[in-house]
Amino acid sequence: MKRLLLLPIAFCCFTATKAQLSITPNQTASQLANILVASSSTNGVTISNEALTCHTFANGEFSGITNLGINNGILLGTGNVLTNGPDIGFNGLPSDFSSTAMSTAGDADLGVIVGTNTFDACVLEFDIVPVGTYVEFEYVFGSDEYPNFNCSAFNDIFGFFISGPGITGSENMALIPNTNIPVSINSINDGSNTACTPNTALYVNNVDTFITVNGFTTPLIATHTVVGGQTYHLKMAITDVSDFIFNSYVALKANSLKSGGTAPNGLTNLSQADAGITIYPTAVDDILTIQNGKNEAWEISINSVDGKVVYKTKMERNESKATIDLSHLAKGIFLVKMTRNADQKNYVEKLIKL
Q: What is the pLDDT of residues 233-245, one digit of tens each?
A: 999 999 999 988 8
User: Structural domain of residue 292, as residue ranges?
Assistant: 272-353
What is the count of structural domains for the chain? Answer: 2
In-domain check, residue 210: yes
Could you give the 3-state DSSP secondary structure of residue 32? helix
Q: What residue type is assigned to position 29 of the chain?
A: A
- Cα–Cα dist 261/69, whole Å: 26
Q: What residue type is assigned to position 321 of the chain?
A: K
68, 217, 218 from 205: Cα distances, Å? 11, 9, 10
pLDDT given for residue 12 in this prediction = 35
Please classify residue 41 by burial: count the beta carbons closer than 10 Å to its beta carbon, then call 0-12 exposed, 13-18 middle and 19+ buried. exposed
- Cα–Cα dist 14/248, whole Å: 20
Picking from 237, 260, 283, the residue at the C-terminal end of a domain is 260
86 shares its domain with 158: yes
In-domain check, residue 266: no
- Cα–Cα dist 336/344, whole Å: 15
Over residues 170-179, the mean pLDDT reads 91
94 shares its domain with 203: yes
The band of 42, judged by pLDDT with boundaries at 50, 70 and 90, is: low
pLDDT given for residue 17 in this prediction = 38
- Cα–Cα dist 244/103, whole Å: 8
215 shares its domain with 149: yes
Is residue 6 predicted with pLDDT exceeding 80? no
pLDDT given for residue 305 in this prediction = 57
235 shares its domain with 326: no
245 shares its domain with 321: no
The number of residues in the chain equals 354
Who has greater pLDDT, 109 or 223? 109
Structure letter (DSSP) for residue 183: P
Q: What would the pLDDT profile of 64-91 be if each residue is shown by its tens digit? A: 878 888 889 999 999 999 998 888 999 9
- Cα–Cα dist 97/21, whole Å: 17
In-domain check, residue 50: yes
6 shares its domain with 96: yes
Over residues 164-193, the mean pLDDT reads 93
pLDDT given for residue 43 in this prediction = 67
Can you give the pTM of this predicted structure?
0.73
Half-sphere exposure of 207 (CA within 13 A, CB side): 9
